[in-house]
Amino acid sequence: MNTVDEILDYAIDQEQQAADFYADMAKRAEKGGMKEIFLEFSAEEERHRDKLLNVKQGDQELHANQAVINLKISDYLVDVEPHENISYQDALIVAMKRERAAFRLYSDMAEKVTEPALQDVFLGLAKEEAKHKLFFESEYDERVLKDN
């Protein structure tokens, strides 16, 4: 991965894989209502993919310097294995963890490469994933940690 386009292609592929993963989960989900949730997640990932496609075509830009809140919820949660009878809470954990992993990956890559242009792309992608993580963490904060 030496060019910006290559990196973006990789990232787009990752998002596509995620979308497919959730679509597959939706098919397999047994619990009432979880199908819709996974389809929503899948759609969310497709939105991410589309955004990167736009970036690749030059219609949108990635911002390496934007500030994204890190709620750090996923940092201390245990890993959950996705399965057919997964609950909403666990599904969110899966999603958060996936976004967190991607975020870590891009951050590491940014540290490793020396070329500033590539570094910017990786940082931009990391921020993008951080935003995605924030989306799921907010959702978790709102719907699971509601203390009723």
Where does this chain bind other proteins (CB under 8 A)?
30-33, 35-37, 69-72, 75-78, 80, 85, 87-90, 93, 138, 141-148
Minimum separation from the CB atom of position 138 to other proteins (A)? 7
If one counts every other C-beta atom within 10 angstroms of the C-beta of residue 43, the result is: 12
Judge whether 16 and 49 are in contact, CB under 8 Å.
Answer: yes
Minimum separation from the CB atom of position 88 to other proteins (A)? 5
104: number of CA atoms within 13 Å, CB side? 9
By C-beta, is 12 or 94 nearer to other proteins?
A: 94
By C-beta, is 112 or 143 nearer to other proteins?
A: 143
Reading the block at residue 83, the tokens are 């399965």
CA angle (41, 53, 106) in 5-degree steps: 70
Minimum separation from the CB atom of position 27 to other proteins (A)? 12
By C-beta, is 40 or 115 nearer to other proteins?
A: 40
By C-beta, is 72 or 112 nearer to other proteins?
A: 72
Minimum separation from the CB atom of position 38 to other proteins (A)? 12
Q: In sequence order, what are the residues at sequence separation of 6 or more whose Cβ sits closer than 8 angstroms to the Cβ of residue 64?
A: 119, 120, 121, 123, 124, 127
